[in-house]
Structure 1
């Protein structure tokens, strides 16, 4: 693998985490019962957001898997886990103690006499909230070490050879969606909850599949090149999957003919089609279009992690006041976007980046 830099991973990581930020900016206005909600909501906004929910985190876990494999081939397993302790576990604790409590305070403001009262009651409750993504990553990184050793076994080499043969076919990698569908629908039948808890296997194993795919795909150069080579075919599958998704989403009422359990199974099926075909398409086109890493991308890639940790609490605080304005959704949402973005970036550049203590607390490398 050498010292090659997969620039497409940097691009996708920054773009997708910013997409997560945009998603949370618009959550108060889609009628979905978030931390802070506007009185009026937009059905169109909700119809759009539910689609993109099938793409962002799945691809981010894929990127995390690929990045883990790259790092594990440069350092020992012990060094890898030590690094992840400092860059994942420590920021998770900091986030749960310092960053998450304001969200709960503004969501349940009548239950507290003030923000200090909320901190005194919530700081040590260790509520991960939106930082569940980091919890998942910690568990997946622990699994990555033995999995990386497994990838070097004779059995894994045989499996990699078969995967490479499959990837030669234009729709070969997309056909793996059948495995994802079987796994997800089976787990959802047993554990239908959408709770973002690591114990909820219908969610955690689904995301683990994407993490493992990142490790397996980047382990095989021919498979990674196939993502680029067959990107147009995967785009066609992605478009078809999107049409099927919205055809089911806007379907007439079929409750009289199809049980609730079966309707949920069909929903998870169409969601999985979009997730897998979207992943293949995003990585394939990013491999072609994102060959270079400009200087700004290096800076963005550095701050994107503390940006993720901070963003939701800052959005919730501003949203609490903005939704009370006598204005339309467009004015409120744009105001929330600009104000929360400005505060996130300012906080990172003035309070986090310049100091080693805060750099360590938020997962940045010590200078």
Structure 2
């Protein structure tokens, strides 16, 4: 990918294939994570009759950092896009805002009114037995005229724990937040005449040596201490302040450091210590979450405070290890990466609906756990690839699933 000759970009790489591979891997992990949500005892849209409590520590392996990593990598991808759009000394902020809006808004709206509604439908179907038992769960007062009631926010689907809000974006909250963050970034670039990029130099200076591991953990622990207990993660955009402090910071970090060779080398040098810290923190956090998994469990306040630091160490150490090993071993392109870099966005858009719909109907067959889970994973991957293949052959309609016309025939750009 070509880049405008910006002062802080001259010595940086023109493309980070390692970040592309990490992005693909993170999205694939997210798909498997949501398959796990069908089986783990935690609350979700639909549930299998096979409850697997032993999955909880496995889910905790990625739970603290998977989306933070995605925001960081998305910020880095946005940096390369922004630099490619900067021309003749101009920041390219307007072009960036337009590009991000065209890429993210159509799939967000399409998902909210076409892709996501089946998730709410089957959530209601499975709740019918708890709210108002019916002989036929699919045909009752709760699901009658479903889509119209969903789209007009007139469903009145309420139970003891509250009401189901529609229309909703469910898993597409990530895309909504990414769009908002991109527009804020474009405004920052415009207001600063592009000098905002220079903050990356300050990050380089402040994150030398072990500071690359220590200071981000301090920051993550600070926002967890100061915000997490006051602002539960809601994904509703307007009251999600801890999540914004976490996700927007990761997005900006990725944007500001994407071209930094010194930080890339720092991650490579610290990859093994980061991995050891990550595994130790995961073991401690998973044990804590398992011990106090009951709803009425009340750990001591001192322990809760200490675990906020452990959680922060878990978050950043895993991210640092992944960035380090990725920079060391994954900085190469090729046709597979080209295909998947474009494909993982439509994968993300459709995957959760596929899991919900296929999982709900597989559960009715009462298959053994291994057969059910195997079929669910296979069907999810197959339908994700099918959605991508349809989108890449649909011209401008492919934008509804996040695929620009002819995108698969060009080198991948930011998503």
Q: TM-score, normalised by structure 1?
A: 0.89
Shift of 1:197: 2.0
For 2:201 and 2:384, locate their aligned partners in 1 and report how far apart those are by CA, in whole Å. Answer: 45
Residues 116-140 of structure 1: CA deviation (Å, up to 9, x unaligned): 8322222454311110111110111
Unaligned runs of 5+ in 1: none
Are 1:63 and 2:73 counterparts? yes
Shift of 1:11: 0.4
Are 1:194 and 2:233 counterparts? yes
For 1:151 and 1:173, locate their aligned partners in 2 and report how far apart those are by CA, in whole Å. Answer: 31
Residues 343-363 of structure 1: CA deviation (Å, up to 9, x unaligned): 2212321x3221114212122
For 1:252 and 1:78, locate their aligned partners in 2 and report how far apart those are by CA, in whole Å. Answer: 49
Shift of 1:32: 1.1
Partner of 2:379 in structure 1?
Answer: 339
Unaligned runs of 5+ in 2: 1-8, 86-91, 129-136, 153-165, 407-415
Contact 1:84-1:141 at 8 Å conserved across structures: yes
Partner of 2:113 in structure 1?
Answer: 97
Aligned-partner SS, 2:167:
coil
Contact 1:86-1:363 at 8 Å conserved across structures: no
Residues 132-162 of structure 1: CA deviation (Å, up to 9, x unaligned): 11111011101212444659549x85x6455
Contact 1:69-1:218 at 8 Å conserved across structures: yes
Which stretch of the first structure deviates more once superposed, 242-251 or 86-95? 242-251
Are 1:108 and 2:113 counterparts? no
Partner of 1:134 in structure 2?
Answer: 175
Alignment of structure 1 residues 1-367 onto 2, 5 Å: 1=9, 4-75=14-85, 76-109=92-125, 110=128, 113=139, 117-124=145-152, 125-148=166-189, 150=192, 153=195, 157=198, 160-191=200-231, 193-199=232-238, 200-251=240-291, 258-259=300-301, 264-349=304-389, 351-367=390-406
Contact 1:26-1:333 at 8 Å conserved across structures: no
For 1:250 and 1:33, locate their aligned partners in 2 and report how far apart those are by CA, in whole Å. Answer: 16
Residues 288-337 of structure 1: CA deviation (Å, up to 9, x unaligned): 11111120111111111111101111111111111122333222111111
Shift of 1:250: 4.5
Change (3 A) 1:255 1:335: closer
**Greater fraction helix:** 1
For 1:18 and 1:112, locate their aligned partners in 2 and report how far apart those are by CA, in whole Å. Answer: 32
For 1:205 and 1:219, locate their aligned partners in 2 and report how far apart those are by CA, in whole Å. Answer: 23
Contact 1:68-1:215 at 8 Å conserved across structures: yes
Aligned-partner SS, 2:84:
coil
For 2:263 and 2:59, locate their aligned partners in 1 and report how far apart those are by CA, in whole Å. Answer: 31
Contact 1:174-1:277 at 8 Å conserved across structures: no
For 1:263 and 1:151, locate their aligned partners in 2 and report how far apart those are by CA, in whole Å. Answer: 47
Partner of 2:155 in structure 1?
Answer: none
Change (3 A) 1:176 1:24: closer
For 1:134 and 1:92, locate their aligned partners in 2 and report how far apart those are by CA, in whole Å. Answer: 7
Contact 2:100-2:179 at 8 Å conserved across structures: yes
How many pairs align?
361
Change (3 A) 1:82 1:322: same
Q: TM-score, normalised by structure 2?
A: 0.79
Shift of 1:271: 2.2
